[in-house]
Amino acid sequence: MSSIESNVTETRVFPPADAVVKKATISGMAAYEALCKEADQDYAGFWARLAREHVSWKQPFTKSLDESKAPFYEWFADGKLNVSYNCLDRNIEAGLGDKVAIIFEADGGQVSKITYKELLVRVARFANALKAQGIKKGDRVLIYMPMSVEGVVAMQACARIGAIHSVVFGGFSAKSVQERIQDAGAVAVITSDEQCRGGKNIPLKPAVDDGIAMGGCESIKTVIVFKRTGGPCNMVAGRDIWWEDATAGQSDVCEPEWVGAEHPLFLLYTSGSTGKPKGVQHSSGGYLLHAILTMKWTFDIKPDDVFWCTADIGWVTGHTYITYGPLACGATEIVFEGVPTYPDAGRFWKTIEKHKVNIFYTAPTAIRSLIKAGENAPTTHPKNFDLSSLRILGSVGEPINPEAWMWYYNNVGGARCPIVDTFWQTETGGHMITPLPGATPLVPGSCTLPFPGIAAAIVDETGNDVEWGKGGFLVVKKPWPAMIRTIYGDPERYKKSYFPVDFGGNLYLAGDGAMRDAKTGYFTIMGRIDDVLNVSGHRMGTMEIESALVSNPLVAEAAVVGRPDDLTGEAICAFVVLKQARPTAEEAKKIANELRNWVGKEIGPIAKPKDIRFGENLPKTRSGKIMRRLLRSLAKGEEITQDVSTLENPGILDQLKQNA
């Protein structure tokens, strides 16, 4: 039994409405196919044309792709540019200076707006402040900030002077801060006193102090502290300086540092298959190009659009679709400090209504939790809000199950807005497989087809193509401009992780299992390779079982992992959140049986979960990703020894220890 069969049983197809097609930048499938063909015929030329058309260069490049040091590929290498210039100055030069760049929606609902001209002034002053602290081109700067205009300013200011930022998500622990400072050899940290989440002020600065105090952080010379709340905040003399003091008296003008296209724009740490996080290194030119193109083609961004990506700047989605992409396109965007459930679960819909958001980009887990909330507190259901401004919806971060897709489509998008289910990764810089809203017919649960110029394919364990309809490893066969350049300080690990010799050494291995529909060639992501289970020799995506569970009317959310089993190789263990309150032991047994039979009916008896456990929630990171590592340990009955510092809700682990 394989996940393609569930994709095949998904027969609903939603072709783009004529009105959407007519206005779209990429209008109709023929336009999409023409771009793919152009890339096919002259790959380097295709990307070079786009890089000339969409990016402003101080010095034009003469060469597109350089493969001589493969898999350390270079793009547009002799071109010079500045990313912050592309995001700010060039919009102002084009007459957009008084346009609102950022609408900041604070945790408590306060709104502030800032124009492109004002944003440039703030970036220039802060860039000058960084220089005054001795920070220069190539230095690594750690950013540990809440969602804020200042977070974006800090990143843009680094880009302006050619410093390499490494943003650490504000929910990570002191230990994570220390490890990242050490690995990157960072010279400065930019942070804030506290952050506001769900009506509470949570200290942030202490994690920086504690992280540095853990040792090995002698590279840090400066800590710049933005005052978010004015709460208690320890300042270390000679090292720490307030944001306002650092910028006081600084000039409003800062000439951009013109860097080579391959100059690193940022490092972003992400977890790999081993314990130590990898510092994914991105370029300036190629990365910026993909950020711009995906804004224009996947989101079909138009001059009057209000764009809202709900991610945090601590994740790659916040980098590409908050800090860089929207600004490089001269858009107006929302920067949202809050959480989706505060003051209640109507917050997203209220915010869309308030700011007349046109393009909305969020994660399936947020959608699923809001479905549940809307059932329990009907006033927070999207139908109570005017969402008629919405034009395009997006999904990212994990596969979206068809039920959540349909709910999003009907209740949020009013059955009128295409959903772009964008598959990509920290390492890919931007969207890789995604519908284009004015071209691609949508199938719920499928991320559909590769972005033009992305040579996505599915291969077996020796790197050979598998036929459509069969599962395998998702790879990219050609380098693309926004791809990861290396793992900072560990080029060998870069080669091993992403270009393993078993696969021939020249295919980018995404780390996900996937399948193409036998007829349409549409891609379905089956989850990380280690999430693919083998039960009695049957290959199954955990996603498929989750999807079946979630389609049961009792179930709000479900996550499935494998655990070793003497008889069947692997056994399926399902963690389930019910729409009703957590059941009593007796009820739980009854419901578990019902669900087993349900899954048996939906997929086949082989897919019936052996273990079912109920909790009020699932263990999630604050970015909303289910921590499957933890679930696997729980399923095996192991003691939890992993770092749970990024967990939104550590209390949930106890509930999930018992089988129903």
Give the residue numbers of the binding site for CoA: 197-200, 317, 536
Mark the segment that binds ligand 6R9 (CB under 6 A) among 85-93, 110-118, 402-410, 505-513: 505-513
Considering the rule CB under 6 A, would residue 660 count as an interface residue with ligand 6R9?
no
Query: Of residues 176, 191, 317, 621, which one binds ligand 6R9 by CB under 6 A?
Result: 317
Q: How far is the CB of 199 from ligand 6R9 (least distance, A)?
A: 27
DSSP string, 378-399: GGGSGGGS--TT--EEEEESSP
Name the phi and psi angles at 599, rounded to 5: -65, -40
Query: Of residues 171, 397, 418, 624, which one binds ligand 6R9 by CB under 6 A?
Result: 397
Question: Which structure tokens are listed for 160?
Answer: 């302006």
Query: Of residues 116, 308, 424, 498, which one binds ligand 6R9 by CB under 6 A?
Result: 424
Query: Of residues 224, 359, 447, 592, which one binds ligand 6R9 by CB under 6 A?
Result: 447
SS3 466: coil
As annotated, the binding site includes 197-200, 317, 397-399, 421-426, 512, 528, 536, 539, 550, 555
Query: Of residues 525, 549, 599, 603, which one binds ligand 6R9 by CB under 6 A?
Result: 525
Q: What does the CA dihedral 318, 322, 325, 331 come to, rounded to 10 degrees?
A: 160
Asked if residue 15 lies in contact with residue 443, where contact means CB atoms within 8 angstroms, the answer is no
Considering the rule CB under 6 A, would residue 164 count as an interface residue with ligand 6R9?
no
Name the phi and psi angles at 122, rounded to 5: -65, -40
Considering the rule CB under 6 A, would residue 440 count as an interface residue with ligand 6R9?
no
DSSP-derived pairing of the beta strands 74-75 and 65-66: antiparallel
SS3 231: coil
Considering the rule CB under 6 A, would residue 271 count as an interface residue with ligand 6R9?
no
- b (16+ CB within 10 A) / e for 641-659: eeeeebbbeeebbebbeee
Mark the segment that binds ligand 6R9 (CB under 6 A) among 206-214, 393-401, 437-445, 631-639: 393-401
Query: Of residues 182, 219, 384, 425, which one binds ligand 6R9 by CB under 6 A?
Result: 425
Q: How far is the CB of 527 from ligand 6R9 (least distance, A)?
A: 6
Q: How far is the CB of 409 from ligand 6R9 (least distance, A)?
A: 15
Whether the link from the prior residue into 402 is cis, omega within 30° of 0, is: no
Considering the rule CB under 6 A, would residue 528 count as an interface residue with ligand 6R9?
yes
Residue listed under structure tokens 């929910």: 171
Q: How far is the CB of 464 from ligand 6R9 (least distance, A)?
A: 22
As annotated, the binding site for Mg(2+) includes 550, 555
Nearer to ligand 6R9 (CB atom), residue 493 or residue 528: 528
Site for ligand 6R9 in 110-129 (CB under 6 A): none
Written in H, E and C, the secondary structure of 596-643 is HHHHHHHCCHHHCCCEEEECCCCCEECCCCECHHHHHHHHHCCCCCCC
Query: Of residues 398, 403, 546, 602, which one binds ligand 6R9 by CB under 6 A?
Result: 398
Considering the rule CB under 6 A, would residue 7 count as an interface residue with ligand 6R9?
no
Considering the rule CB under 6 A, would residue 298 count as an interface residue with ligand 6R9?
no
Distances (CA, A) of 281 to 88, 255, 285: 23, 25, 13
Considering the rule CB under 6 A, would residue 423 count as an interface residue with ligand 6R9?
yes
- Number of other residues whose CB lies within 10 A of the CB of residue 134: 11
Query: Of residues 264, 330, 399, 438, which one binds ligand 6R9 by CB under 6 A?
Result: 399
How far out from the chain centre does Cα 237 lie?
Answer: 37
Asked if residue 139 lies in contact with residue 269, where contact means CB atoms within 8 angstroms, the answer is no
Residues at the site binding ligand 6R9, with contacts judged by CB under 6 A: 270, 315-317, 395-399, 421-426, 447, 510-512, 525, 528
